[in-house]
Structure 1
Amino acid sequence: MSRSVTRRTEWPGHESPARSAGQGLGDSPDSSRAEKELSPQDPAERARAICLRLLTGTPRTRKQLRDALHKRDIPDEVADEVLSRFEDVGLIDDGAFADAWVESRHHGRGLARRALARELRTKGVDSALIDEAVGQLDPDQEEATARELVARRLRSTRGLERDRRLRRLAGMLARKGYPEGMALRVVREALEQEGEDVEDLGDHY
């Protein structure tokens, strides 16, 4: 993931971008006062101030910002003009946002490409940018992360029947977006290494 590596520091400590992206979209006393000081006859100035405040310390997509402007009754044509200007000067970059999101959420939460793509769609990122960002996640790296997730959860399943262990561990991977075939194979191999007989477990999944 060559492009995203340089942007990992955008979310220090791999803080959940989902939580960060949700912060600042609501009103606070300071932000409300600042917005009221701007002339209501100058929606462009209000729009710029809102965007700059929301972008401080936290990357956001164009859609997130447009939704925030709409919530504050900024006319659509004014919002589009301001957002386009922000894109021109690099203050909004959905491609960089997608790269950083994939890097942070994969390493921080162990999410696979399918789950990452789903999350980026909810942020309004263009499909082509999503494909490019998740495509930089190397399949070998994705599988290695799946193995790490299983290894961390393996001990907590000891004492359960073997088919329940398989379902629980494979289900955990499926919820994080890993393909069923990969999930089954990784779990079966982990159980085999532990000495569990898993010859027929695939029939129970």
Structure 2
Amino acid sequence: MATDSVEASENIELAEKSLLKRLRTRSLSVSEARGLLREYDLDPAATDHVLATMEEYGYLDDAALAEQLVHAGVDRKGQGRQVIAQTLAKRGIPRDVADAALAAMPDDDLERALEFARGKARSLRSVDRDTALRRLTGQLARRGYGGAVAMTAARTALDESPGGSSGVRFR
């Protein structure tokens, strides 16, 4: 019986080391950490103990991770609220924590969408307006901007674009 507890203890230690190694390279949600620990066949009490220890030391913090993901989505990637919400859900952030992080998000979807659309509108000068509008709206939708925001930003950017196409192309 003693060898079983020694083996379990070694397994817990190995799981902790593996989790710490992963946390050095990438922040994980509690859900993702739990998934990683499943590979070590720990009993539920041992898994909960390891997760509680990591949370106590501050290595696992869903609220901080949610804030990081919102910041990255907004500032670095220019994503809309929908894509950021999907990212939070995919990473296993609890709904209440995700909602709190999204509520703290600046309400400037239209400005960010317009900034992105202005940059892309220049590359769409060679196609007619309907095609450019369709492509630009699609790109904005894939970035997580809602239909009305995407359409408004695309139209505004195309209207502002210098040397916009008249809709007629000759070759």
Report the TM-score when normalising by structure 2. 0.84
d(CA) in 2 for partners of 1:137 and 1:76?
Answer: 35
Equivalent in the alignment of 1:95: 63
Report the TM-score when normalising by structure 1. 0.71
Structure 1: runs of 5 or more not aligned: 1-38, 199-205
Q: Does 1:177 align with 2:144?
A: yes
| Contact 2:66-2:97 at 8 Å conserved across structures | yes
| Contact 1:150-1:169 at 8 Å conserved across structures | yes
Equivalent in the alignment of 2:124: 157
| Contact 1:166-1:187 at 8 Å conserved across structures | yes
Partner of 1:74: helix, strand, or coil? coil
Q: Does 1:192 align with 2:155?
A: no
d(CA) in 2 for partners of 1:56 and 1:197?
Answer: 51
Structure 2: runs of 5 or more not aligned: 1-5, 167-171
5 Å-filtered alignment, 1:29-178, equals 40-42=7-9, 43-140=11-108, 142-178=109-145
Aligned length: 159
Percent identity of equivalent pairs: 29
Letter in 1 for 2:119: R
d(CA) in 2 for partners of 1:131 and 1:185?
Answer: 26
| Contact 1:70-1:76 at 8 Å conserved across structures | no
d(CA) in 2 for partners of 1:90 and 1:134?
Answer: 22
d(CA) in 2 for partners of 1:111 and 1:71?
Answer: 33
**Structure 1 stretch displaced more, 153-162 or 50-59:** 50-59
